[in-house]
Structure 1
Amino acid sequence: MTAFDDGKDEGALRTIGEVSEALGIRPHVLRYWEQQFPLLKPMKRSGGRRYYRPADVAMVETIDRLVNREGYTLKGAEAVLRAASKSDLDRRKDDRRSGDRRADANQDAAPGVRLVVSEGPDMVEIIAGLKTVRAKLAAALEV
């Protein structure tokens, strides 16, 4: 995330001018992105003055990276942001549902793989089957 040199606290609200200057993105572009990306909604106070929260600044940085460095179209960048937002929401729901069982299940997972454990006897069989397949694949790679 961008470090601001304005003397404000890290979590402070920033005006569109402050965000524009810190990120090198013109204010009219930021206003246009607000129209194009429904997930980008800075607070608006009296007189319509915009205040960007740290999460808004992070989203602007992500949009800038996707559009200006990675070559996404605006619609493509919006799809990436929506997918990321949905996966974050799904992960939070899974965390609430699965509680502490998740940490135990992830100890058996391969590096970089997260297991999501849900209730039911079928899941135990499925997980056992997947572990068997993983062991067979590992043995085949060793040959």
Structure 2
Amino acid sequence: MPGAEKAAGALRTIGELAQEIGRPQHILRYWETRFPQLRPLTRAGNRRYYRAEDVALVRRIHDLLSNHGYTIRGVQKLLAAEKGSRAARAAAGTSPGVGGGDKQGLKTVRDSLARALDEDS
């Protein structure tokens, strides 16, 4: 149906997501080769379906590349650093609350972003 919006948690096809972010589909397929965190579901005929977390990751990658001047390598480093810090917090039992406005968690993310920007320069 033209003009019908999908629910927030609905699966998105590669075409829908590409149109949403204003990038061609081949760019999303390329990002899948560069970001191991980005793993959409694949169905018959290798059709890709992006879950809500995949959509959020694609939007974030697009934002970092387009609006914040990151390179592919810079985004890779940032995501890897975040994965490492999440694992360390989980091991220490200090994971920030979900949506709870955890100031220390936000400061940690800010600091890791600043470090990534400095390393990328």
Superposed CA RMSD in Å reads: 2.5
- Hey, what does 1:66 align to over in structure 2? 64
The reply to whether residue 36 of structure 1 matches residue 47 of structure 2 is no
Alpha-carbon distance between aligned partners in 2 of 1:40 and 1:28, rounded to the nearest angstrom: 14
Deviations 1:86-105 (A, max 9, x none): 2223333333xx7xxxxxxx
Alpha-carbon distance between aligned partners in 2 of 1:55 and 1:16, rounded to the nearest angstrom: 14
In structure 2, stretches of 5+ residues that fail to align are 95-101, 106-121
- Hey, what does 2:50 align to over in structure 1? 52
- Which structure has more RCO (C-alpha within 8 Å, separation ≥ 6)? 2
The reply to whether residue 15 of structure 1 matches residue 31 of structure 2 is no
Alpha-carbon distance between aligned partners in 1 of 2:69 and 2:5, rounded to the nearest angstrom: 34
Alpha-carbon distance between aligned partners in 2 of 1:17 and 1:90, rounded to the nearest angstrom: 36
Alpha-carbon distance between aligned partners in 2 of 1:70 and 1:29, rounded to the nearest angstrom: 18
Q: How many residues were matched structurally?
A: 98
Deviations 1:79-122 (A, max 9, x none): 10111222223333333xx7xxxxxxxxxxxx9447xxxxxxxx
- Hey, what does 2:119 align to over in structure 1? none
- Structure 1 stretches (4+) deviating beyond 6 angstroms? none
Deviations 1:13-55 (A, max 9, x none): 1100111111112111111111111111111111100000111
What is the deviation of 1:8? 2.4
- Hey, what does 1:128 align to over in structure 2? none
Residue 7 of structure 1 aligns to a residue in which SS? coil
So what's the TM-score if we normalise by structure 2? 0.70
In structure 1, stretches of 5+ residues that fail to align are 99-110, 115-143
So what's the TM-score if we normalise by structure 1? 0.60
- Hey, what does 2:22 align to over in structure 1? 24
**Taking structure 1 as reference, are residues 113 and 56 closer, same or farther at Cα in structure 2, changes over 3 Å only?**
closer
